[in-house]
Chain A
Amino acid sequence: MSTQPLSQFETTKETTEETTKQKDVMRVESLTYTYPGAPKPSLHAIDLPIRRNKITALIGPSGCGKSTLLRAMNRIHDLYPGNHYEGRILLATPEGREMEDILEIKKENDLIRLRQRVGMIFQKPTPFPMTIFENVAYGLKLSGMKNKSDIEERVVTALQGSAIWKETKDRLHESAMGLSGGQQQRLCIARAVALKPEVLLFDEPTSALDPISTGAIEELIAELKKEVSIAIVTHNMQQASRLSDYTAFMYIGDLIEYNKTSKIFLNPDQKLTEDYITGRFG
């Protein structure tokens, strides 16, 4: 299945870059991705911008490639050797004037730096077997921070910013395993936020949680976009419509439609999108 040229993409590459920050913090350009040993690509020539300080939702039925796409954006796929990328994934430099292709990164050192700039939250909460404090401080230590009081300050700020400070301030030095599922997930968000990333990737962050915890996480994500640009994979369409500014609908490895969330949910251009949104399949 081929997609139509997506007219709403700002493909203007050189026009605005001198004066202001790039509007997109990240831009996937004709990305084709093949898993190790797979005969056919799982993503076909995907084009997708991630807008600065906005939330972009990736939706689509299981197996459509939304998580695969997300996992290309911090190159976590590279943990399993033998995969193949084509195309470009551009990431704005910290100053925001230029973009660099993260698929060009070869050195382990640079990959590590990339992952500290592009954080990731997983489907299930993944607290490390350490205390709450150490969990949040872990990434900071990895990034080379040594000064104890600096680390402490960043940990506290991150916990506060992730709406988990109240529940943890009296038990910072207890094991993180003792927290509830929703608390653990907010801790994982704090852990990622502490590194002050430019982009945060959420891979179905609430699918393992109850409705109340889900609500807390959604509130938090909406709050976080002031600081960071967000891409979120979800199979929950209400979540996508509540939360996101832009939505991309994917189907069997193709990006079918990308637009403002309101447009996608109220008046999609593609029949396939409409069928999915209205629950006719998926």
Chain B
Amino acid sequence: MNRLMLNKLILALSTASAVIGIGFLLWILTTLVVKGISSTHLSTFTHDLVDGGIRNLIVGQFTMALLATIIAVPLGLMAGIYLREYSQSPKLSATLRNLSDVMMSAPSIVIGVFVYALFVDPFGGYNGWAGSIALAIMMVPIIIGTTDNMLALVPQELREAGIALGGSKHKIILQIVLRAAKVGITTGILLSFARIIGETAPLLFTSANNQFFTMDMSGQFPSLTVSIYNLATYPDAASQDLAWAASFILTVIVLIINLGGRYLTRHKH
């Protein structure tokens, strides 16, 4: 019977798609683990790029991502709070939400170009601050989105109960509503951190890269991802091995933060 055959065919193709998807995940992860572990040594973590290690790169990447988080989280939180708690005009909040989503999907290389024009060119060269700002611009809309969605899950009664006790609106938001949404928002922050720490394109011509260990953010700043891009395209095996080691460690970091964030929400709900 024709209709049944078609059904079987489509179901088989759908299952095959899932198998293909999982297959690629396993392929990529296996490659990473095999190449990564064989290229990673203790000295990889204790030396800087100039000596064939990635210590300064990990520190640099984390520094920029953390600074970006420090900039982006308050801004994103406040924006999310406005959208969910204050906005009186559904039209305005819908527009602002959509614009924030559009910003989230803006090409990361374009954000790099934008930050270059504002924070690199006028200040005489690549610097770590610019890298952090570029990452923060990528992070803000993600934080806005999660805050907005998580606040929406807080029951209205909670706010009303707070008001009924005579609390002022901003105190209730800060002391009750945000606390009720804490876990979800934390997860959102972790996921967005995992997202930006793996970014390359916005850093290429903002922080650029540095072979040496430095905490001076006013100059070229070490970046793990930019280094991977450079190292992988060098022809010598030692550079490529180091690129694999760096990729492996980056992926482990990203996946651990990701799973950690997911675990947090599962634990609570």
Contacts and interface: CB of A to CB of B under 8 A. Distances in A.
Chain A directly contacts chain B within the complex, with at least one CB pair under 8 Å: yes
Interface of A: 108-109, 112, 142, 144
B164 interface: no
The 6 A-B pairs of least Cβ separation, nearest first, read A109-B4, A109-B1, A108-B4, A142-B3, A144-B3, A112-B4
Contacts of A112: 4
B39 to A, nearest CB: 45
A112 B3 CA distance: 11
Contacts of B3: 142, 144
Contacts of A142: 3
Contacts of A144: 3
A241 B1 CA distance: 44
Nearest to B2: A144
A108 B11 CA distance: 14
Contacts of B4: 108-109, 112
A108 B4 CA distance: 8
A67 B3 CA distance: 30
Interface of B: 1, 3-4
A142 B2 CA distance: 11
B256 to A, nearest CB: 32
Nearest to B1: A109
A152 B59 CA distance: 72
B218 to A, nearest CB: 58
Nearest to A143: B3
A144 B4 CA distance: 12
Contacts of B1: 109
6 contacts: A108-B4, A109-B1, A109-B4, A112-B4, A142-B3, A144-B3
A240 B3 CA distance: 40
A108 B1 CA distance: 11
Nearest to B8: A108
B5 to A, nearest CB: 11
B243 to A, nearest CB: 46
B4 to A, nearest CB: 6
A109 B4 CA distance: 7
Nearest to A144: B3
A108 B7 CA distance: 11
A144 B1 CA distance: 10
A109 B1 CA distance: 8
B15 to A, nearest CB: 15
B7 to A, nearest CB: 8
A179 to B, nearest CB: 27
A225 B132 CA distance: 73
Nearest to B7: A108
A140 to B, nearest CB: 13
B254 to A, nearest CB: 35
A109 B8 CA distance: 12
Nearest to A112: B4
A112 B7 CA distance: 13
A108 B3 CA distance: 11
Contacts of A109: 1, 4
A190 B78 CA distance: 53
Contacts of A108: 4
A108 B5 CA distance: 11
A142 B4 CA distance: 11
B12 to A, nearest CB: 14
A203 B3 CA distance: 29
A112 B1 CA distance: 12
B9 to A, nearest CB: 14
B8 to A, nearest CB: 9
B11 to A, nearest CB: 11
A117 B3 CA distance: 18
B10 to A, nearest CB: 14
Nearest to A107: B4
Nearest to A141: B3
A144 B3 CA distance: 9
B6 to A, nearest CB: 12
B149 to A, nearest CB: 26
A269 to B, nearest CB: 48
B144 to A, nearest CB: 32
